Chains A and B, each alone.
Chain A
């Protein structure tokens, strides 16, 4: 059932802190056993050539010495993905989706194609939002054999609670009212 609860990867926000820049100088290859400074060996020798083996490099200072202080960057508290639970019973399914600090007006919930779809847009100006700014999507597939005929959603204490009632399986007894 865990496979049926599929979550689409959210669109990662554009963070200036994760931008990479190519180094202007060539990488230092002095740590390698094989000296290729005069150029690569002849192509035919690749058959018997062992792969370059890196020497034991010292750990960078950040890894060698544990940091005494926690990371206090503001982004450390933001969740890049939306955490959720799926609960099931004979009569209904229950989804609990964590949206801390999010205005429920920014969330759009839809039901179709045996799936519950949540779209969420967190603006950059959102103060104390627990979800990273940007556009997020979450799709939870409903299991086969149920046809949801009712959807009920509420938002409380930063948790979106979605209840999907299941259609009654088996024959439904309909009472015939006599009119004459």
Chain B
């Protein structure tokens, strides 16, 4: 798979999140679209991915794992609950969806072919 680095050639997506967290990278080939999101600290059970037609919704619930008797001295991480929506191509149907979480990197792979329908993509840990 060769990522397309020329954004002008990609008619792909429009992101509708109000914040830049999590960082998301989109790459496209002739048959697939791959979405990579950096979600360090989030477990599989914290994430929810839904694909409704051409809208991919990614949300996460924060679980810091810090004991209660600790107080913050420095906070440089961008954490917290988030919800981001990524608008995919409107005239393309998606199938053969796959997602996995590894070392805080969520990778979602969509294939362009069959008619789109409401589906929830399971996340499996590899």
Contact = CB atoms under 8 A, between A and B. Distances in A.
Contacts of A98: 40-41, 77, 104
A133 interface: no
B23 A70 contact: no
A100 B104 contact: yes
A69 B13 contact: yes
Interface stretch (B3-11, B50-58, B90-98): B3-11
A73 B65 CA distance: 33
Contacts of B15: 70
B77 A1 contact: no
A103 B103 CA distance: 8
Nearest to A67: B7
Contacts, number: 128
A130 B104 contact: yes
Q: Which of A90, A128, A129, A157 has the most CB of B within 10 A?
A: A157
A87 B72 contact: yes
A72 B7 contact: yes
B20 to A, nearest CB: 10
B49 interface: no
Contact of B105 (A5, A71, A83, A130): A130
Contacts of B36: 77, 128
Interface residues of B, number: 42
A87 B73 CA distance: 5
Contacts of B40: 98-100, 130, 157-159
Given A70-B15, A76-B25, A158-B40, A96 B66 contact: yes
A84 B76 contact: yes
B7 A71 contact: yes
7 contacts: A70-B26, A72-B26, A87-B73, A101-B38, A130-B104, A157-B41, A157-B43
B71 interface: yes
A72 B36 CA distance: 11
- Give the size range of A's interface with the partner: 35 or more
B75 interface: yes
A87 B103 contact: no
A61 interface: no
A43 B79 CA distance: 58
A130 B23 contact: yes
Nearest to B69: A89
Interface string A50-89: 0000000000000000001111111011010001111111
A89 B67 contact: yes
7 A-B pairs with the lowest CB-CB distances in the bound complex, closest first: A158-B104, A158-B40, A100-B104, A77-B25, A87-B70, A86-B74, A72-B7
A102 interface: yes
